[in-house]
Each structure stands twice: as C-alpha cells, then as structure tokens.
Structure 1
Amino acid sequence: MVQKIIRKLSYGWRLLATGFSFVSFGAGGLLLWLLVFPVLSVLPGSRLQRISRGQRVVHASFYFFIGLMHRIGIMTYEVNGLEKLNRPGQLIIANHPTLVDIVFLISRVRQANCIVKHSLWRNPFMRGPILNAGYISNGDPEKMIADCVAWLQSGGTMIIFPEGTRSVPGKPCRFQRGAAAIALQANKTVTPVTLSCYPGTLTKAEPWYQIPERRFHLAMQVGEDIALDEFTPIQPKSIAVRRFNRYLQDYFTQQRERYKDYGK
C-alpha cells in the first residue's frame, strides 16, 4: 500500500515536472530572442562570428535544460564516445526516437548547425534561436542540401536526423535521402550516433503528458566514422546516394535493435 502511494506521488511529481520543463523551454527560447540575442547582434564581428556566438548560446542553454530535467527527476542519461564528436567539418547522423533528441545532441556539441522544419521559423519560442544560430530551413530541398554542404566544407559541424521526424516504435528506419546526398557531396567526416530511450516517451504522435511509469533513460552511443570510399566513385551520383542511404538505414535499424532496452 505504501509503495503504491509512493509510486503515485512520484508519477504526479514527474507529470508536473514534465509540464514545467515544456513551459521553461518555451520561455527560455522567448527570453533568448528578446534579451540575449539582441545584445549579441550588436557585438562586432562577421556574420559567421555572430552565428558562432548564437550556436554557443543555444548549446549552453540546451545543456542547462538537460541538466534541469535530470535534476528534477524526469530523466537520466549517459553518453558513450563523446570524444569522437566536436570535430571541424563533421556530419553527425542520428536516429530520432524522442522529442528530446536534438536538444540532447546540441547540448553535447559545442557548435553545430542543423536542419529545422520551415514551419518552426514562425514559432515565437523557436524563432530567436533558429535565426541567430544560422540553422538551415528544409523549405527548399535543393537549397537545403547546398547550404549544408557549404557549411561542412567551410569546417562547420552539422547534425542531421535522416528520418525527418521521430521514429515509429517497432518499425524499421525509413530515411530520406537528403543526409546521404549531403554526406557524399561534402565528402567530410561522417559520424553515426545511436540514441535510445527507455522507457519510450515523447515519441511520434504521443502527447507530452503521457509519461512512463518511471524516469526515462536517454543513452547516446557514438559510433566509428563511416568511410565514404565505397560510395563516392559510384556513378551516377543518384545511385550512390540511394546505396549510401540504404546503408544508413540498415546500420541504424541494427543499432536501434541492439540498444532498444538500454537502461532497462
């Protein structure tokens, strides 16, 4: 009886804490837009320097947010292979099991660009970080690919989720070809990152208040760099992209199965 009451109290606290986290995230994005980024914008420097400052601010704020979720008892986490990240000209390709993925990854990569849905550019809570960090819109696919390639070739770091949206639990990975095309055109370092979340939460079409019975555990496994030598000579390039995309799908499907109960 006592244990049942404790479980209910714990569940109620985590539900309130989850709601608080969502409110804090939105409020934080709005405050950055209204108070922090206007100050950064008047500091001297080129456009790339302003973007660099913006990305570092987003990194720091996301690092704080993940720490907040951990401290108030919503989640636990672990990172294996962090030393393989934070390299110039690195394309980080990751699967996308939960809503927290991009926040968690950026909190561990000091300075990174990423692709965002075009609709988020009109979101008042996200617009500030998106614009000031120089993130790339998916509104025009050809321009998106060209911008990502240019960023990587200039020595910048990119984070891409090839699924384009959160994974469907229990189904194989289905990747869009944009990430494969960017990787082969840029011909830079490609590093896979496998994310696993147990118990599953904040998945596709799952409301925020549908929380698991206990804290969820988010694990990040950084894999070895993927060699592109097997794919870059293939002609035409459309076939190379298709084959590399299939390789990525198979890799992440296997990795996701390997780590599906990680933290159980």
Structure 2
Amino acid sequence: MTTKIRYGWRLFATGFSFFSFGLGGLLLWLLVFPALSALPGSRRQKVSRGQRVVHYSFYAFIGLMHRLGIMTYEIVGLEKLNRPGQLIIANHPTLVDIVFLVSRIKEASCIVKGSLWRNPFMRGPIVNAGYISNSDPEKMIAECAAWLKAGGSMIIFPEGTRSVPGKPYRFQRGAAAIALQAGRIVTPVTISCYPSTLTKAEPWYRIPERRFHLALHVGDDIALDAFAEAGLKSVAVRRLNRHLQDYFTQQREVYKYYGK
C-alpha cells in the first residue's frame, strides 16, 4: 500500500510540475518579459537579462521536482561550465535535459524547433533569451557561430531530438559545423538518467517505479586543431562529428547504470 501511495504521489507531483512549468512560461511571457523589454539597454544586454530570467526559472523548476520527490540529481565538473564563448555539446536522453543544463548555466543560448516559436508557453523565453531557430540550417549555423565568437555560451544536442532507448546515436553535423566555424571552447557534457524516464518513446505520465536520478558529467574540452587541419571543411566537419558520436557512445556505456 505504501508503495502505491508513493507512486501515486510522484505521478501527481510530475503532472503538477509540468503544469507549473507551462504556467510559469506563460506568466513570463505576459508579465515579466514585457517589463524587462522596457528597460534601457542594447539588444545584447536585453538578451542577457532574458537568459538570466530563464536560468533562475529553470533552477526553481529543477528544485521543485527535487523537493517533491520526483528526482535526485548531481553534477560532476560544474566548475568547467559558465565560460565565455563556450559551446556545450550534450547527449539528450530525457525531456528535462535542456532545463537541467540551463538551470546551471547563467547565460546560454540554444537551438529550438521552429514550431516552438508559436507555442504560447514557450514563446516568451525563446524570444527574450535570444534562442536560435533551426528552420534555416545555414542561417542557424551562422547565427550560432556569431554568438559564440561574440563571447556567448551555447548548448547544443547533436542528435537534434531525444535519444531512442536502445538505439545507437545518430548525430547531425550541425554541432560539428558550428564548433569549427566558431573556433571557440567546446565542452562535452554526458547526461545520464536512471531509471530511464521522459524519453522520446514515453509519455510524461509513464513514470518509473522510483524517483529517477539525473547526472551531468562535464568532460574535458575538445581540441579542434586536429580536425581543423583536415583541409576540406566538409571532411573536418565529418571527422569531428564522428569523434563526438564515438565519445558519447562510449560515455553512455560508462554511465549506463549510474545512480542505480
């Protein structure tokens, strides 16, 4: 009976958390961001303020999920993050990966699906935090590289969507192209989740039998010189993309049961 009560509570708490997330996004769009936009400052300063608002909002959301008993979490190597011009490349096992990362990075941009610009719960944070649409791939790469060269931080999931459990990684080349074009800091972050939950193949209400443990392991920076020396740009992008895919495939096995 106790087990069923705990499961029922976590199911309710999960639904409440996502309801709060949507409501919070709507309130930010209607109340907070209009006020921020009215403040004086350059476009860059306004985007910086918007990113910090999203950061603190996501920090509160992760804290809510933790306090409600839905999840536990840990971060190894946090001191390697929050550097100007840093491209953070991560795998994408769960729905809350971007929320978790942004909650620990004070100012970061990211790539979002073009369809989300029409979502009233997400439009406020997306527009005011200066996030970049993936609608036009060439424009996306140029805008991301320019943002990094200007000293901004960025988070990218090379898969482009959440991983399919049990399937090999299939990285798109956009992250590698952005990294080589920007020529700035590239830092890999491995995200592991056990028990597996909130994957691409699962609805939010199919929760595991116990609270899940989400962990971030920040790796060492990836040196780009060897890939940049490949000659042809297409060859360099392909080699870096393969390196990233192999790296995260290996890391997934290392942290497969982390937090068990």
Within a 5 Å distance, the mapping from 1:99-248 to structure 2 comes to 99-248=95-244
- Superposed CA deviations along residues 97-150 of structure 1, whole A, max 9, x for unmatched, are 000000000000000000000000000000000000000000000000000000
Letter in 1 for 2:132: I
* Paired residue secondary structure (1:230): helix
Are the aligned partners of 2:187 and 2:219 in contact in 1 as well (CA < 8 Å)? yes
SS of residue paired to 1:10? helix
Cα RMSD after superposing both structures: 0.5
Aligned AA for 1:263?
A: G
- 1:12 paired with 2:13, answer no
State how far apart, in whole Å, the 1-side matches of 2:100 and 2:179 are. Answer: 22
Is this contact kept in 1: 2:51–2:109, CA < 8 A? Answer: yes
Task: Measure, in 1, the Cα distance between the counterparts of 2:167 and 2:248.
Answer: 12
Counterpart in the other structure of 1:76: 72
- One-letter amino acid of the counterpart of residue 205, structure 1: A
Deviation at 1:62, TM superposition (A): 0.1
Flag structure 1 segments of 5+ consecutive residues without an equivalent. Answer: none
Q: How far 1:172 sits from its partner (Å)?
A: 1.7
Q: What one-letter code is carried by the residue in structure 1 that aligns with 2:95? A: L
Please report how far the alpha carbon of residue 166 of structure 1 lies from its aligned counterpart in structure 2 after TM superposition: 0.4
Q: Please give the alpha-carbon distance, in whole angstroms, between the structure 2 residues aligned to 1:205 and 1:235.
A: 40
Partner SS, residue 64 of structure 1: helix
Kindly provide the amino acid, as one letter, of the partner of residue 169 in structure 1: P
Task: Work out whether residues 164 and 201 of structure 2, in 8 Å CA contact, stay in contact via their aligned partners in 1.
Answer: no
Is the CA contact (8 Å cut-off) linking 2:33 and 2:128 kept in structure 1?
yes
Note if contact 2:74-2:214 (Cα within 8 Å) is conserved in structure 1: yes
How far off is 1:261 after superposition? Answer: 0.3
Contact 2:89 2:188 in 1 (8 A): yes
Paired with 2:18 and 2:64, the residues of 1 have a C-alpha distance of 11
Total equivalences in the alignment: 260
Secondary structure of residue in 2 paired with 1:98: coil
Instruction: Give the aligned partner of residue 25 of structure 1.
Output: 21
SS in 1 for 2:248: helix
> Equivalent residue for 1:88?
84
- C-alpha deviation, 1:205, in angstroms: 2.5
2:250 maps to 1:254: yes
CA positional deviation for 1:255: 0.2
Secondary structure of the structure 2 residue equivalent to 1:231 = helix
**2-structure distance, mates of 1:125, 1:58:** 13
Q: Distance in 1 between matches of 2:115 and 2:254?
A: 34
Match of 1:97 in 2: 93
Deviation at 1:229, TM superposition (A): 1.1
Runs of 4+ with >3 A deviation: none
